[in-house]
Amino acid sequence: MIEKLAIVSLIVKDLDEALEFYTEKLGFEKVTDVMGPIHFLTVAPKKENDTEILLQVPDPKILGDELATELQNQIGKTNWIFKVEDCKNTVQKLREKGVKILNEPTDMPYGTQAVIADLYGNSFILLESKNV
């Protein structure tokens, strides 16, 4: 049986700049960094290492041109939800670090949410949940 979600893949243009964004701007930590036929590099929020984000640059030499192109077309199309303790404070800190804020914190029936973007245009919802 499936036990849990362990790793989600995020297609990026450049591993070094993606790593810098996620660690320096969002405060994530590097969890795995293994070189081989592909560079396996994962990050995760510091308090949550159960689910890691695989930062991946599609390599046509390994995947073939067609699949690499298909994956590259996914850049900027991710939309995930990250739990935060204080949405307004988190947005302010991210803004100070130069993170693009797509939607300011908004009170909703289920909590307060805001939307940010990474350097590739992927959007992420920050949710301060009323139920958690």
Clarify whether residues 69 and 127 are in a common domain: no
What's the CA gap between 66 and 77, in Å, rounded? 19
Tally of structural domains, the chain? 2
Q: Each residue of 74-128: pLDDT tens digit?
A: 998 888 899 999 999 999 999 999 999 999 999 988 899 999 999 999 999 999 9
Domain that holds residue 18: 1-75
Clarify whether residues 63 and 4 are in a common domain: yes
Measured CA to CA in angstroms, residue 44 lies from 23, 62, 66, 120 at distances of 9, 26, 29, 18
What's the CA gap between 92 and 112, in Å, rounded? 14
Clarify whether residues 22 and 66 are in a common domain: yes
Q: In the block, which residue shows the tokens 């993170």?
A: 99
Q: What is the CATH number of the domain that holds 81?
A: 3.10.180.10
Is the pTM higher than 0.85? The answer reads no
- Is there a contact between 21 and 12 (Cβ–Cβ < 8 Å)? no
